[in-house]
A = this chain, B = another copy of it.
């Protein structure tokens, strides 16, 4: 099913960009977890459009409403439904997409798959779809706080186009990420990125980049052999985000240039614990967390919708051109940072509960 994710902590999202609402149903959440709408809203605000001058100006408060599963401020074990109504929809700005397919967008493939599509604002392929994920992940984080109190997820912009930040995954802090609107913890580089995105936008163009994510304080033992390896689940989670083109964990693609004798992470006893001397594994071995920091990178392509006139094809099969209107991000990465965090939290929460189910403790 296209819109279900997770096995023990299972979410089901719904909603189109210009339909009535977007949201999520979370099934399997542990009971007695303190939860308020305000806590969910914090993450939704980090994801919402209109939050800064380098993102889409669509003006959505994205105010969430919990309509089930919470009673007197605590989860009760039953499905938690969270809903956000679309307010600032402007379907007319998408009128051209009714009859022509935007290049590198989902217009053509949705039409071909289903024989019908909601052409307003990208429908289900819009980044608005991620609201449900971010809301569910806010809940997952509360659960993780109980199951693995030291666990900490920090995602940040590692590069925009050719501008690459210097960041130490072992020490980077959430506060430094949130300190600027591009969400890059290397402050001088962040400013250059912001200037560059503005310049690209002024040209009606778009740009991509790489987000890095680190998870510290992961209990060893999360993830499973074979298909549900933790890195496999993370890879799926990340590639399910709009505009992603690649995922690498630990040493990643550059690791293919090393020999085994260089690449292997020697074990050693440190502070009474089994630790690795290096961390080319990225915190996961054989699909299972080893207690070291998990870190990975996700490639985001430049936004498909640009304000140039482009060659394309009409829904009736004729060559034509299209010039987009509407409101679009010149670069998705600043708003994608909380999405990467969210998908990471969903994967880890799911596996923490699976681990507790099969093996008794996390």
Contacts and interface: CB of A to CB of B under 8 A. Distances in A.
Interface stretch (A4-12, A38-46, A47-55, A177-185): A4-12
A355 interface: yes
Contacts of A12: 4, 12, 25, 27, 79
Contacts of A311: 266-268, 277
Interface stretch (A148-156, A168-176, A236-244, A334-342): A236-244
Given A20-B68, A256-B208, A269-B319, A228 B1 contact: yes
Nearest to A10: B1
Interface in A42-76: 65-71, 74-76
B3 A103 contact: no
Interface string A247-289: 1111111011111111111111100101011001110111111
A221 B166 CA distance: 41
Nearest to A330: B260
A67 to B, nearest CB: 4
Contact of A69 (B14, B30, B162, B356): B14
A188 interface: no
A308 B259 CA distance: 12
B23 A81 contact: yes
A99 B313 CA distance: 56
A358 B317 contact: no
A253 B248 contact: yes
Contact of A264 (B3, B7, B67, B304): B304
Contact of A78 (B2, B205, B253, B353): B2
Contact of A113 (B159, B221, B231): B221
A79 B227 contact: no
Contact of A110 (B28, B108, B205, B286): B286
Interface residues of A, number: 159
Contact of A302 (B259, B269, B299): B259
Given A30-B358, A71-B117, A357-B354, A103 B266 contact: yes
27 contacts: A2-B28, A16-B68, A21-B83, A30-B358, A30-B359, A77-B359, A103-B264, A103-B266, A104-B285, A105-B285, A109-B285, A109-B286, A161-B259, A231-B245, A232-B240, A235-B239, A245-B248, A245-B249, A245-B250, A246-B252, A252-B299, A256-B300, A256-B301, A260-B305, A261-B306, A264-B304, A269-B319
Contacts of A356: 356-357, 360
Contacts of A231: 239, 244-245
Contacts of A284: 109
A256 to B, nearest CB: 4
A337 to B, nearest CB: 15
A4 B224 CA distance: 11
A33 to B, nearest CB: 10
Interface string A293-318: 00001011111111010111100011
Contact of A118 (B76, B200, B253, B259): B76
A137 interface: no
